[in-house]
Amino acid sequence: MLWLAAHYPQWALQYFCYRNELNQSAEVLLYDPKSLHVLALDAVSQQAGVTVGMSLSTAQSLMPSVMLAEFDSSISQQASDWLCQWSYEFSARVVPLRCALVHDALKAGRSSTKLDVDEFVCNTLLLEVSSMALIFNGIDKLIEQYDQRAKSHGLEVSLAIGKTPLAAQLLAQQSSITTVAVTNSDLHHIDTGSRSTFHQPPPTVNKHHNANIKANIPREQNDYLNPDKSHGLLNQLPVALLPISPFLKQSFLDIGISSFASLCALPDKELGRRFGPKLLQLLARVSGALPHPLTYFEPEETYLQKLALLYEVELMQGIVFPLGRMLKEMGSYLQQRQLAIQQLKLTLYYRDSDRSSLDIIIEYPFAEHRSDHLLSLCRMQLERITLYQPVVEMAISVDKFVPMVIANDNWFGQQAAQGQRSEKAKRLMALLQARLGGDKVKGLQVTSAHLPEEAWQATDLSTTGHEHRPVLKSLQQLSGIGHSSSGLNVGACRPSWLLVTPEMISIETIELLKGPERLQTLWWQEPEVCRDYYIASHQQGGLCWVFKDGNGYFLHGWFG
**273 and 332: one domain?**
no
Quick check: 45 and 52 in contact, CB under 8 A? no
**91 and 224: one domain?**
yes
Is pLDDT at 235 greater than 50 in this prediction?
yes
Is pLDDT at 171 greater than 90 in this prediction?
yes
381 falls within a domain: yes
Residue 100: helix, strand or coil by DSSP? helix
Diameter of the chain by CA atoms?
117
Report the C-alpha gap between 325 and 21 in whole angstroms: 9
Quick check: 1 and 168 in contact, CB under 8 A? no
Quick check: 242 and 262 in contact, CB under 8 A? no
Quick check: 244 and 282 in contact, CB under 8 A? yes
> Taking Cα atoms as reference points, which of 92, 87, 116 lies closest to residue 104?
116
Is pLDDT at 7 greater than 70 in this prediction?
yes
296 falls within a domain: no
Report the C-alpha gap between 114 and 245 in whole angstroms: 6
Tell me which of 320-334, 366-380, 403-417 is least confident. Answer: 403-417
> Taking Cα atoms as reference points, which of 222, 209, 8 lies closest to residue 124?
8
Quick check: 16 and 30 in contact, CB under 8 A? yes
Is pLDDT at 492 greater than 60 in this prediction?
no
- Segments forming the whole domain that contains residue 504: 497-558
**161 and 280: one domain?**
yes
Is pLDDT at 487 greater than 50 in this prediction?
no
Quick check: 547 and 450 in contact, CB under 8 A? no
Q: What is the pLDDT of residue 521?
A: 84
How many domains are there within the chain?
4
Average pLDDT over residues 504-522: 90
**99 and 17: one domain?**
yes
Q: Tell me the CATH number at 342.
A: 3.30.1490.100
292 falls within a domain: no
Quick check: 87 and 119 in contact, CB under 8 A? no
Average pLDDT over residues 308-331: 88
Is pLDDT at 196 greater than 50 in this prediction?
no
Report the C-alpha gap between 302 and 94 in whole angstroms: 19
Last-in-domain residue among 444, 479, 514:
479
Q: What is the pLDDT of residue 550?
A: 86
Is pLDDT at 485 greater than 70 in this prediction?
no
**461 and 327: one domain?**
no
The DSSP symbol for 528 reads -
**205 and 265: one domain?**
yes
Is pLDDT at 194 greater than 50 in this prediction?
no
Q: What is the pLDDT of residue 449?
A: 76
295 falls within a domain: no
Q: Tens of pLDDT along 24-44?
A: 778 888 888 888 999 888 888
Q: What is the pLDDT of residue 112?
A: 67
Give, in order, the Cα–Cα distances in Å from 98 to each of 104, 119, 120, 295, 542: 10, 11, 8, 12, 72
Q: Tens of pLDDT along 342-377?
A: 899 999 999 987 888 899 988 887 788 888 888 988
64 falls within a domain: yes
* CB half-sphere exposure, 66, CA atoms < 13 A: 29
Q: What is the pLDDT of residue 104?
A: 66
Conformational region of residue 137, where left means phi above 0, alpha means psi within -120 to 50, and beta covers everything else? left
**227 and 352: one domain?**
no
Q: What is the 3-state secondary structure (H, E, C) of 68-87?
A: EEECCHHHHHHHHHHHHHHH
Is pLDDT at 484 greater than 50 in this prediction?
no
490 falls within a domain: no
The DSSP symbol for 265 reads T
Report the C-alpha gap between 477 and 492 in whole angstroms: 8
Name the residue type at position 264.
C
The DSSP symbol for 200 reads S
More confident site: 442 or 240: 240
- Residue 540 exposed, middle or buried by CB count within 10 Å (0-12, 13-18, 19+): exposed
Average pLDDT over residues 395-413: 74
Grade residue 142 by pLDDT with cuts at 50, 70 and 90. very high
Quick check: 436 and 363 in contact, CB under 8 A? no
Say how many C-beta atoms besides its own lie within 10 A of residue 39's C-beta: 21
Last-in-domain residue among 403, 424, 459:
403
321 falls within a domain: yes
Q: What is the pLDDT of residue 462?
A: 61
Q: What is the pLDDT of residue 281?
A: 93
Q: What is the pLDDT of residue 111?
A: 59
Bond preceding residue 527 cis, omega within 30 of 0: yes
Is pLDDT at 474 greater than 50 in this prediction?
no
Q: How is 446-465 classified by DSSP, letter by letter? A: E-S-SSGGGSEEEE-GGG-S
Q: What is the pLDDT of residue 418?
A: 44
Conformational region of residue 541, where left means phi above 0, alpha means psi within -120 to 50, and beta covers everything else? left
More confident site: 193 or 516: 516
Tell me which of 120-134, 421-435, 503-517 is least confident. Answer: 421-435
Grade residue 460 by pLDDT with cuts at 50, 70 and 90. confident
Q: How is 144-172 classified by DSSP, letter by letter? A: HHHHHHHHHTT---EEEEESSHHHHHHHH
Is pLDDT at 184 greater than 60 in this prediction?
no
Q: What is the 3-state secondary structure (H, E, C) of 397-433?
A: EECCCEECCCCCCCCCCHHHHCCCCCHHHHHHHHHHH
**94 and 240: one domain?**
yes
Q: What is the pLDDT of residue 321?
A: 87
Grade residue 455 by pLDDT with cuts at 50, 70 and 90. confident
Beta-bridge mates of residue 446:
456
**396 and 540: one domain?**
no
Report the C-alpha gap between 371 and 379 in whole angstroms: 12
Residue 181: helix, strand or coil by DSSP? strand
Percentage of the chain lying above the pLDDT 90 cut: 33
Say how many C-beta atoms besides its own lie within 10 A of residue 418's C-beta: 11
Note the helical H segments in 306-422.
317-337, 371-382, 414-417
Give, in order, the Cα–Cα distances in Å from 208 to each of 185, 212, 253: 13, 9, 21
Q: What is the pLDDT of residue 105?
A: 60
Report the C-alpha gap between 497 and 517 in whole angstroms: 18
Name the residue type at position 94.
V
**425 and 399: one domain?**
no
Give, in order, the Cα–Cα distances in Å from 361 to each of 38, 378, 394, 397: 39, 9, 13, 10
**372 and 234: one domain?**
no
Average pLDDT, the chain: 80
**257 and 328: one domain?**
no
485 falls within a domain: no
Last-in-domain residue among 287, 313, 329:
287
Q: How many helices (H) and strands (E) does the chain have?
A: 19, 21
Q: Which helix (H) or strand (E) holds 238?
A: none
More confident site: 376 or 3: 3
Grade residue 265 by pLDDT with cuts at 50, 70 and 90. very high
Name the residue type at position 168.
A
Quick check: 125 and 83 in contact, CB under 8 A? yes
Note the helical H segments in 214-316.
230-235, 246-254, 260-264, 268-275, 277-287
Average pLDDT over residues 459-488: 45
Q: What is the pLDDT of residue 461?
A: 66
More confident site: 191 or 53: 53
> Taking Cα atoms as reference points, which of 176, 154, 117, 150 lies closest to residue 22?
154
Average pLDDT over residues 95-121: 76
